[in-house]
Structure 1
């Protein structure tokens, strides 16, 4: 089979199940709710509607990118999960056996997953951006704060957010190829993204020099690529929050994806499947 045929088969396989759209709906609701809450609190605080004159405020000019970046700051776990599930579900349901029998060149199968993963990353990215931007822009406009839609920087950030989603899917594919067990892979992803890295980044705001290490963590690199994040903004207000340039953040995230995919291919993907 050619790469085109294998990719077409992989596309049918991924979009014929309910998992992708269930996760997409959860992503939209989760990001939309988070963006709505932060949009109300941040804009109301910045305009003095709540918190009083002496309350902590984020400058109004910084509000649009911070609120819009909620799509990646809290939503990146969804493309990571779908990328992981693209591979581990095949091991769990034993569908890799007929796939490898039809396409003995296993590298071709992995490339097909990467190509379809890029498509899923864009789809999830668009959903995430809509989920974050719609409620955020509504609160910004409601409180008389510029939405930033007239700025090319805002649209460039949207493009980087889509790129971040694609790279997160690639990382998920690498994790799935390396860790065959679906439960183990999902638990590992959730523990790292929802506990270990957030704790490390929070601690970096109070431990001198720690941000020199934590800025290279995948979530921090993703925030750097996007160029804004509610977590980076919070760290900056406490005196920490050293970040990479956006292009460096993208390279670091791409590096994680490349290493995981290559190691997963060499260590696990070529092993026998039952």
Structure 2
């Protein structure tokens, strides 16, 4: 507990966590509101009528919290570690806590909790913005459905796992600029391109569903990036528990490699 409290103090004394949180909330609010507005107004068929909205539109609106919001907790986890290497604040920490694995574990616990905070904030704003707009359009908000709240709970878990993945990446790639470039390039460009290819080419579908973002969407249960995948096709998402296992595996691999390589080096 002492190490976890110490990690929280170090994290909360910086501006980065609340800057990322504000940007996340604003971004999710915009995207969720945009989707809800589009679904509510419907598509113009040319005769003034609106196309009937498919079922589950509320899930796509609310899941924007995770499908686009996951980049913020992974960035937070990455920056929490790389900032320590950059400013050499790890040196006094390692002097007071010689067992470096305990320091890394404390950081993982602290960032997992912050990931939950980011997840709750993201889904709260998606619900607050999306539900009224869906209701105005006469669409089901899903607020009375148990599955909606299970999706929210799984989404919070997904963002917790993403924050741990960020810690692992930061431990593996201590250079802050390089780590940020890797996160942004992969989440915003590389994986979306790979997932688009997986939806188009059958031979790539079996690999595409195991990509981190696809696994995260599978854990949550909905995503606008997976709308093109038919439920019975090979490009459809994994089961939610399979998606969770993929994210846990990625986090474990990154943390494990980082702890046995970079984390063991002399930081003085």
Q: Same fold (TM over 0.5)?
A: yes
- Could you say which residue in structure 1 is the equivalent of 2:32? 35
SS of the residue corresponding to residue 203 of structure 2 reads: coil
CA–CA distance in 2 between the matches of 1:52 and 1:109?
62
Indicate which of 66, 72, 78 corresponds to 2:66. Answer: 72
Contact 1:204 1:240 in 2 (8 A): no
Task: Tell me the CA shift for residue 250 of structure 1.
Answer: 0.5
Q: Deviations over 1:6-61 (max 9, x none)?
A: 1111111111111101100000001111111111112222xx5x4557987650x2
Aligned residues: 266
State which drifts further: 185-194 or 129-138: 129-138
Indicate which of 153, 159, 169 corresponds to 2:153. Answer: 159
CA–CA distance in 2 between the matches of 1:230 and 1:42?
12
CA–CA distance in 1 between the matches of 2:121 and 2:236?
29
1:257 and 2:251 correspond:
yes
Structure 1 stretches of 4+ with a deviation exceeding 4 A read 51-58
CA–CA distance in 2 between the matches of 1:58 and 1:200?
28
SS of the residue corresponding to residue 205 of structure 1 reads: helix
Q: Deviations over 1:125-169 (max 9, x none)?
A: 011102222211111111111111111101111100000010000
CA–CA distance in 1 between the matches of 2:28 and 2:221?
18
1:12 and 2:6 correspond:
no
Indicate which of 129, 132, 139 corresponds to 2:123. Answer: 129
Unaligned runs of 5+ in 1: none
Unaligned runs of 5+ in 2: none
SS of the residue corresponding to residue 191 of structure 2 reads: helix
Contact 1:91 1:180 in 2 (8 A): yes
CA–CA distance in 1 between the matches of 2:188 and 2:140?
32
TM value normalised by structure 2: 0.95
- Could you say which residue in structure 2 is the equivalent of 1:97? 91
TM value normalised by structure 1: 0.93
Aligned-residue CA RMSD (Å): 1.7
Relative distance call for 1:262 and 1:210 in structure 2 (3 A) is same
Relative distance call for 1:199 and 1:257 in structure 2 (3 A) is same
CA–CA distance in 2 between the matches of 1:30 and 1:230?
15
Indicate which of 219, 243, 255 corresponds to 1:225. Answer: 219
CA–CA distance in 1 between the matches of 2:252 and 2:91?
25
Indicate which of 80, 99, 109 corresponds to 2:103. Answer: 109
Contact 2:206 2:235 in 1 (8 A): no
Contact 1:80 1:171 in 2 (8 A): yes
